[in-house]
Structure 1
Amino acid sequence: MNSKQFETAKMCLKVVTPINISDGIVLGAKDYLYDSRRQKVFFLNLHQWHMFIYKHMLLEKYESYLANFRDKQSLLEWLQMQGYDIDDVRTVITSEAQATVNLMDNEKKKTLNDINRHIQQPEGSLYVPGSSIKGVFRTAILYSLLQKRQDIKVKYWRQIQEKISSNYFKPYRDFNKLISDLENEFLHTLRLVDGNIRSNNAVCSAMRGLQVSDTYASRNMQTAILQKVDGGFDKFGKASPKKLPIFRECMLPKAELFFDVKIEKAVMSTIGINTVDDLLKATHSFFAAVTDLLQQAFEKEYQEAFQGVAAGNMFLGGNTGFLSKTLLAMLAPDKDTAKNTIKVLLDKSFKTHKHLLRDKVIAPRTLKCTNYNGKLMLMGVAEVRKV
């Protein structure tokens, strides 16, 4: 391979704060074994679990349990009533996770909560899709390009304000269209065979010159079931974190995952990326900009949540917040204008959330967190570096 045309690098993604990338699978109370004494959740191979039920002639009792489930008995409790325990079903367990947070809300209900699983390979190992990492790179590159083109920032900000003030504004449709147009303007830099640039054709996107593999190996990998915590303020402006009944299987701090990046220099240079180092510089710049916004609004009352965050250079996965996933705040001329516009957008999108009334310091008004090892942490902070 001609090194002048391409740069390849083995990369390490280190988990700084808990990360969850959902595979869309949500496990209900009857789909996993929860041992509160051991503080563990045990995930099942459903085919082998059903074979266990059939082999031990428990099918009729199991069907009765499923049919008469009334928020009273967990699957493990049912299994123990049949005379079996965790050690008896080791062969049907695919993986396990820490559960230091109680998965049962005793004040409101007796059932276990749903769990959003982390995406995994067919054999059960957790990984990060290359598409997720590349999506972060894409947003960071757009941010980097915006810093060099004030005229384009002004143009798109005006469009945003015009859209939001319109009586026909459709948040998802109009905002997604605007971001698509922005990507076309910045990233669709390649010419087709006939010499034309067709901005609405993905074939013209310079992002074709960036290849990112799925993670293919990991070390220090452990997972835990962690609860969503929204860090907000009370009416006096003091910290008022709120625990929500949303639980995620998360990769934990210090875990390291490995993947490969390949840059086609002639293609990526059209958007200002000539090396992997350029890519990482852009990624860190966007991360720093988002972190700065959050710190200005929250750090006084939520110092603990920002401890160690400076070691990261990207937000990744679920529950990382609106600001880390969009460029809307970065298009605004200043942070107050961004706040006032974003809260109007959110109010039009989520009528019952009272963004106009409550988003006083920043919009959205919550810091996306979780509790781990007795500490409040931001969700989804990672460090990506060359190995």
Structure 2
Amino acid sequence: MNQLKNYRIKITVATPVFIGSGLSYQKNEYFYDRDTRKIHIINPEILMRWIVEKGRIQNFESFSLSGASLSKFFEDLRVRPESIPGLIEYSADAGAAVEQGRLIEIKAFIKDTANRPYIPGSSLKGALRTVILTKMLRDAGREEFLDNERIAKKNPAAQIEIKHLHTLDRAGEKANALNSVMSALSISDSAPLAQPSLTLCRKIDVSKGGYEGRLNIARECLCPGTEAEFILTLKPESGKIDAGYIKKAVEEFGGYYSRTYADKFSLPQGAVKEDFSNCILLGGGCG
């Protein structure tokens, strides 16, 4: 009798990975410590309670109207945020994201209720879907790929995915997600990751010619070297997409991505050429 098959997956972060929670912090919502080059995200309720208890309401009103940073507010009062119990929710290494002390907007990484970062299983599953579909198209050959493009001029990506992934007969409409072979594959969220695994990375868009566009945004990212573990479950309906097929698809994807996309861009000054072998792309921007 066919049964579910479970596998333990471990991935290692090769470049900074960002998976956003939808939250962001402005310069009046976090404290930057110049000595340790760390940013500290504060609890606003505890901050307001402390302001009221210490009779600093007028100081805070002046600070709010001035548009200054929270760091400046504490500096003017000569108060260390660490001295206020429970004020700091979590901290992260600022890295090189804070240039000359200039504070910018911070996009938050997704975290659990204990403020521990983790990687959602849906994010990894989405990355593997790209890898698996790429292998299917490459195995089918270029003519098959071009034929799919001609058939679906308006939305070729969707039609190609339906043709190659929607091979199950669970619902009447072929486009229904229940017919996708990916529905026979599930991945758990990762185990919670340690807080020190986060660092800030500046958002920089790079053109094909190597031009850098620096935005006033930093992202909380997982540091290279961070390891995350998941449980992959395969149902009998997954067919040929077994553990071996997924492993082979991952092995082939990195080199193909490098040749057809990454190598087309000039490296920014000081950048190191990455080895994409046995890699997948995960998260926002690139990771």
Q: What TM bracket, shorter-length normalisation?
A: 0.7 to 0.9
| Structure 2 residue runs without a partner (length 5+) | none
1:217-296 equivalence runs, <5 A = 217-218=192-193, 221-232=196-207, 239-264=210-235, 266-269=236-239, 272-273=240-241, 275-296=242-263
- Please give the alpha-carbon distance, in whole angstroms, between the structure 2 residues aligned to 1:313 and 1:11: 14
- State whether structure 2 residue 182 is matched by structure 1 residue 216: no
Q: Kindly state the Cα deviation for residue 223 of structure 1 after the two structures are TM-superposed.
A: 1.5
Paired positions, count: 286
1:178-211 CA deviation, whole Å, 9 max, x = no partner? 322222212221223xxx7531222222111101
Does 2:54 align with 1:56? yes
Q: How far apart are residue 244 of structure 1 and its match?
A: 3.2
Instruction: Name the counterpart of 2:16.
Output: 18
The code of the aligned residue for 1:288 comes to: G
1:93 matched to 2:60: no
Aligned 1:11-160 pairs, distance under 5 A: 11-66=9-64, 68-70=65-67, 73-89=68-84, 91-101=86-96, 103=98, 112-150=103-141, 151-158=143-150
CA distance in 1, matches of 2:261, 2:7: 32
Matched residue SS, 1:16: coil
- The percent identity for this pair of structures is 23
Q: Which amino acid aligns with 1:187?
A: L
SS at 2:218 equivalent: strand
Deviation at 1:319, TM superposition (A): 1.1
Q: Paired residue for 2:279?
A: 313
CA offset at residue 242 of structure 1?
Answer: 4.4
User: What does residue 177 of structure 2 align with?
Assistant: 202
Q: Tell me whether 1:191 sits opposite 2:191 in the alignment.
A: no
Tell me, yes or no, if the aligned pair for 2:133 and 2:164 is still in contact at 8 Å: yes
Offset of 1:104 from its aligned partner? 5.3
Q: TM-score scaled to structure 1, two decimals?
A: 0.67
CA separation of 1:313/1:35 partners in 2, compared to 1, >3 Å: closer, same or farther? same
1:59 offset after TM fit, Å? 2.8
Match for residue 158 of structure 2 among 153, 161, 180: 180
**Partner residue in 2 for 1:171:** none
Gaps of 5+ in 1: 164-173, 321-379, 381-387
* Inter-CA distance 29–220: structure 2 relative to 1 (3 Å threshold): closer
Change (3 A) 1:89 1:277: farther
The letter of the residue matching 1:283 is: V
Q: Distance in 2 between matches of 1:143 and 1:277?
A: 16
Please state how far the C-alpha of 1:152 moved relative to its aligned partner: 3.6
Alignment root-mean-square deviation, CA: 2.7
The answer to whether the 8 A contact 1:228-1:246 is kept is: yes
TM-score normalised according to structure 2 size = 0.88
Whole-Å Cα distance in 1 between the matches of residues 198 and 174 of structure 2?
Answer: 43
**Would the alpha carbon gap of residues 88 and 292 (structure 1) be closer, same or farther in structure 2, given more than 3 Å must change?**
same
Contact 1:136 1:283 survives alignment (8 Å) = no
Q: C-alpha offsets along residues 314-352 of structure 1, whole Å, 9 cap, x if unaligned? A: 1111112xxxxxxxxxxxxxxxxxxxxxxxxxxxxxxxx
- Structure with bigger helix share is 1
Runs of 4+ in structure 1 over 6 Å off = 299-303
1:218–1:258 CA contact under 8 A, matched in 2: no
Q: Which amino acid aligns with 1:318?
A: G
